[in-house]
Amino acid sequence: MDYNQLVTALGETIYITIIVSILVFLLGLIIGVLLYSLQTKELIGSARMYKLVSGIVNVLRAIPFIILLILLMPFTNLIVGKITGANAAIPALVISVAPMFARLVENTLLDLPQTLLELGIVLKLKKLQVVTKILLKEAFPAILGNFTTVVIATIGYSAMAGVIGAGGLGSFAYTYGFQRNNQLAIWSSTILILVIVFIVEIVSKKIINKIDYR
Amino acid sequence: MIKLRNVSKQFGNKQIISNLDLDINQGEIVGLIGLSGAGKSTLLRIINNLEQATSGEVIIKDNIKFGFIFQTFNLVNSLTVRDNIKLALVNSTFTESEKETKVIEVLNLVGLEAYIDSKPKELSGGQKQRVGIARSLIADVDVLLCDEATSALDPFTANEIINLLGELNKKLGLTIVFVSHQLEIVRDFCDRIAIIDNGVLCEVDTTINVFSKPKSNISIKLLGNVLGFERYLDDPTIGLITCYSKSEIKDCYTALLENNVDIEATYQHHTKQGVFAHFFIRSAEQIAGYEIRRINGL
């Protein structure tokens, strides 16, 4: 087994996870807030727009990731310039995972008491201020908990993307482990992925414990 | 200060408030009472523009500022007491140091200055409600709309909050509209009471009048338990004498004893407007100087 290749693959998985997580957090948060605002009459309140955005989110969530990866190859080629390598996996991962996070953000906001929204209105806050200064502040620990789930899903998907050439530990396990029947390569990449997941969970739990005042 | 004229509110086909007229004057404490679903909270929300009336007029004096006190306190749990209160000043023109001074001022008023850096999780229910009150006060409100403000609190803490609201009413001239189903609190706290049933205003009068001479059936139903009516509502042989001062109560009691009238029960109440007492008597057709009412004929 080539240890240098393993280290490179580990680096690629961490790279993909970090970039995708940042993009998913920003995109998912914006879409989640939009979904919530569209169905809240005190904010935007547009049933028609909600149906449209919600429909797009549902479609993107319903397409199996591996098929989305193939479907998006022309798009990936357009913005990344190639269809293999770590960067090539990013668009498909973001498009697949961000709708999932958006839905979780939407549901977290819907779970907040309606009176918090009313508080913003009573205090004469602007609509965006109601969202940023009250709702997201109150929902943040729960959103962070959901984000952890999404990051872990991203790690899993990135391994899947690796099988069709996106690099990372999934690619390493497939190329060096499966194709060459090297058990050590399969197990070492599996253990490294598990370690990354555990670290993400531990760090997330510590942060949530620190900020959670529910 | 606030005039409601012919106000109605419908949710779909359901009529929540019907043609309601009510005046609320500056500096007074008005209690809105009624059964659950009677429309009292909706009325409060209409006054505060959280809901729009389907028809009718809500006439509010210019530049009146409203504060709203929620049953569930409604604090943002991730923010400190200071930042929760500062939420009311987000769009104000005050500088940060002016905001800080104002926060300390209102926390002094509600007696929570030591908790400025605490998070809501570290506060008791009563303290949370004090923060809610402080958050309203910092915006220099004229009217405090309280929606079941003491319902989530134990009786002792509820009384503390009522005393605080009473002090603020006196000290700052705050007008208070107080929705509650805690009738003893309403009796001791409010200057006037409006009784609402199925969205209709059934009765509005001074607290002592509503409690001593309830006019509508819903008033008797609501207040019956507090006043002792409930036990006698279906007994045509029971008569009622109401006395409005300590000396009158004493004289009446003496007269009843002298005339050998059986006294079934007595209830004495203290309201903001004074003391009154009910004597429930049996088998007395008349006693000189006292009006005897039959309870089922109220």
Statement: residue B297 has pLDDT above 70: no
Closest listed residue to residue B234, CA positions, set B216, B221, B215:
B221
Statement: residue A5 has pLDDT above 90: no
The whole-angstrom separation of Cα B6 and Cα B298 is 28
Is the pLDDT higher at A212 or at A199? A199
pLDDT band at A69 (very low <50, low <70, confident <90, very high): confident
Q: What's the confidence (pLDDT) of residue B231?
A: 81
Do A124 and B91 count as a contact with CB atoms less than 8 A apart?
A: yes
Residues B214-235, mean pLDDT to the nearest whole number: 81
Angle at B178 between CA B196 and CA B89, to 5 degrees: 135
Do A134 and B87 count as a contact with CB atoms less than 8 A apart?
A: yes
pLDDT band at B214 (very low <50, low <70, confident <90, very high): confident
Q: What's the confidence (pLDDT) of residue B298?
A: 62
User: A42 to chain B nearest CA, in Å?
Assistant: 9
Which residue in B69, B70, B76, B118 has the most chain A C-beta atoms within 10 A of its own C-beta, making it the best mutation to test that interface?
Answer: B76
**What are the tens digits of pLDDT across the range B238-263?**
888 999 889 999 999 999 998 888 89
B89 → chain A, closest CA residue:
A123
Statement: residue A38 has pLDDT above 70: yes
User: A102 to chain B nearest CA, in Å?
Assistant: 22
Contacts of A179 (CB under 8 A, 6+ apart): none
The pTM for the full model equals 0.84
Residues from chain A that touch B66, judged by Cβ atoms under 8 A, are: 122
Statement: residue A24 has pLDDT above 90: yes
pLDDT band at A86 (very low <50, low <70, confident <90, very high): confident
Q: What's the confidence (pLDDT) of residue A214?
A: 64
**What are the tens digits of pLDDT across the range B277-286?**
999 998 777 7
The whole-angstrom separation of Cα B9 and Cα A198 is 55
How does DSSP assign A49-90, residue by residue? HHHHHHHHHHHHHHS-HHHHHHHTHHHHHHHHS-SSSHHHHH
Q: What's the confidence (pLDDT) of residue A65?
A: 87
**What are the tens digits of pLDDT across the range A153-167?**
999 998 888 877 778
User: A57 to chain B nearest CA, in Å?
Assistant: 30
B144 → chain A, closest CA residue:
A122
pLDDT band at A83 (very low <50, low <70, confident <90, very high): confident
| Contact by Cβ (8 Å): B244, B253 | no
Residues B150-168, mean pLDDT to the nearest whole number: 91
* Cα atoms found within 13 Å of the Cα of residue B58, Cβ hemisphere only: 17
Residues B139-152, mean pLDDT to the nearest whole number: 93
How does DSSP assign chain B, residue by residue? -EEEEEEEEEETTEEEEEEEEEEE-TT-EEEEE-STTSSHHHHHHHHTTSS--SEEEEEE-TT--EEEE-TT----TTS-HHHHHHGGGTTS---HHHHHHHHHHHHHHHT-GGGTT--GGGS-HHHHHHHHHHHHHTTT-SEEEEESTTTTS-HHHHHHHHHHHHHHHHHH--EEEEE-S-HHHHHHH-SEEEEEETTEEEEEEEHHHHHHS--SHHHHHHHHHHHT-GGGTT-TTEEEEEE-SHHHHHHHHHHHHHTT-EEEEEEEEEETTEEEEEEEEES-S-BTTB--EEGGG-
Do B72 and A118 count as a contact with CB atoms less than 8 A apart?
A: no
Q: What's the confidence (pLDDT) of residue B108?
A: 93
Q: What's the confidence (pLDDT) of residue B294?
A: 79
Q: Sign of the C-alpha dihedral, residues B87, A102, A190, A172?
A: negative
Which residue in B46, B77, B85 has the most chain A C-beta atoms within 10 A of its own C-beta, making it the best mutation to test that interface?
Answer: B77
Structure tokens, B121: 């999780």
**What are the tens digits of pLDDT across the range A102-156?**
999 999 999 999 999 999 999 999 999 999 999 999 999 999 999 999 999 999 9
Amino acid, res. A9: A
User: B143 to chain A nearest CA, in Å?
Assistant: 12
* Cα dihedral B86→B90→B94→B99 (10° resolution): 10
For B87, the closest of A126, A133, A211 (CB atoms) is: A133
| Contact by Cβ (8 Å): A212, A141 | yes
A118 interfaces chain B, CB cutoff of 8 Å: yes
Q: What's the confidence (pLDDT) of residue A168?
A: 87
Residues B125-139, mean pLDDT to the nearest whole number: 94
pLDDT band at B292 (very low <50, low <70, confident <90, very high): confident
Q: What's the confidence (pLDDT) of residue B197?
A: 93
Q: What's the confidence (pLDDT) of residue B286?
A: 74
Statement: residue A191 has pLDDT above 80: yes
Q: What's the confidence (pLDDT) of residue B126?
A: 94
3-state class of A2 per DSSP?
Answer: coil
Residues from chain B that touch A113, judged by Cβ atoms under 8 A, are: 72, 74
Do A213 and B135 count as a contact with CB atoms less than 8 A apart?
A: no
Structure tokens, B35: 């059964």
Q: What's the confidence (pLDDT) of residue A1?
A: 63
Residues A40-69, mean pLDDT to the nearest whole number: 93
Residues B139-166, mean pLDDT to the nearest whole number: 92
Statement: residue B132 has pLDDT above 70: yes
Statement: residue B205 has pLDDT above 70: yes
Size of chain B in residues: 298
A62 interfaces chain B, CB cutoff of 8 Å: no
Closest listed residue to residue B182, CA positions, set B146, B217, B212, B216:
B146
**What are the tens digits of pLDDT across the range B31-87?**
999 988 899 999 999 999 889 999 999 999 888 999 999 999 999 998 999 999 999
For A122, the closest of B68, B78, B90 (CB atoms) is: B68
| Contact by Cβ (8 Å): A86, A168 | yes
Token match 């009292």: residue? Answer: B40
The whole-angstrom separation of Cα A147 and Cα A141 is 10
